[in-house]
Structure 1
Amino acid sequence: MTIDIAATALVEIRMTTDQQRGTMLEPVVGAFARLRNDLRPLERFGDLEVQFVEPPATGRALPGEVAHAARAIVRSAVLAFVDSGAARRVRIQWDCDGLNLLIGIRDDGAGDLSHHDDSLRPIAERVSALDGEFAVSSTPGWGSLLEVRLPLDPPNEPEPLEDVVALSHREREVLRLVVSGARNSEIGSQLDISNNTVKFHVSNLLRKAGARSRAELGALTR
């Protein structure tokens, strides 16, 4: 028990000292080698056998944030397997399809893990933060498989509503005031138009944006 606690602690220390984030790029092979070093204490001092399937040497370099998250995801998964007490062997595989880093982590444990398991919540949160995909499949008595897809490029920022919807000059003025929280009477006063005209423009804005309320229109605009 003491050895397991110490080995787990060493891995967690590695996690807290990994600062490879931001725009810095890491060769995929180098990032995988760092992962092997991170997990070495579990191999050396624990009863867990860790098998590594190397990524292709020609794989695309990983953004620092993706490399950091990928290592943290694997470490969290391995620790979850260790904590379950049933796993004796873990197989870790990285691959790259040019657009995504593909991670596979398989154990030979009880096969009772699910996507909603509390021990896997940190993994799900990291994957979601990077707009990736996370799947868990388990077979009782045969172990569990965790599959993760992490995009190597950040998601495209949505275009501003005013750039994708054709609006007149007056509609743009009304939209700006709606987003600011102004009421129809205040909008009419500032633009020197009647209340009915304001309602007409607001109705057109809702229709063009596909919004159901002023609040939704404001959210789409922002």
Structure 2
Amino acid sequence: MSIVIHGLSPVTSLGVITALLESSDLFEFEHFTDVHDPAEVQALVSKGDVDLVITDPTQPSLNAGLALCREIKCRAVAPPVLAFCEIASPRHVLLSHLGEIDSLVHANELPDRLAAAVQSTLCGSREWLIGPHEETSVPWADSHALTSREQEVLWLLSERCTNGQIAHTLSISTNTVKNHVASVLRKLSVKQRSELFAQSGSSEQRHNARA
């Protein structure tokens, strides 16, 4: 097995490797190659013996990072690409899809969830764990009434994403999205999604909506 890590800081890279080594006997330290030069990543991938690329698509910039991901996926024998980064906005998630990234894991996810996503991606599945978003401007995003998946849906709703876009981003069906949206609206005591952000500037209004 060969896993290439690119664009992560030395500390983050070591943390990812440690999480994977502790999660399963499937991984050995020699399976990992930490590469800083995008050209070297391409050279390794072109040899056809890379099983997975773990990268931060925001480094050195989002455009450059996503361009590298697209170049990797254009190869005749292309390994899956897992993005591991701090997501700044729903736009980054949607652009990551356009960059042909297979899986995305927020840098704040727990090590066991990262390890599970890596193993699932190696098996051909897509994992999109876009993590907690307490720092975003999404109203009510810290509501304990919402499940983690419902918070992800709410976060994408804040960007006026359609049900189809949400389904594509989270790799779930549109019917499942409809159920999540209905649950979010019910828990936040609003009748339609447009009401969620109509008065997002007032913390008092947000409190009343939760009551």
TM range (shorter): under 0.3
Considering only CA atoms, is the larger Rg found in Structure 1 or Structure 2?
A: 1
- The TM-score, its normalising length taken from structure 1, stands at 0.27
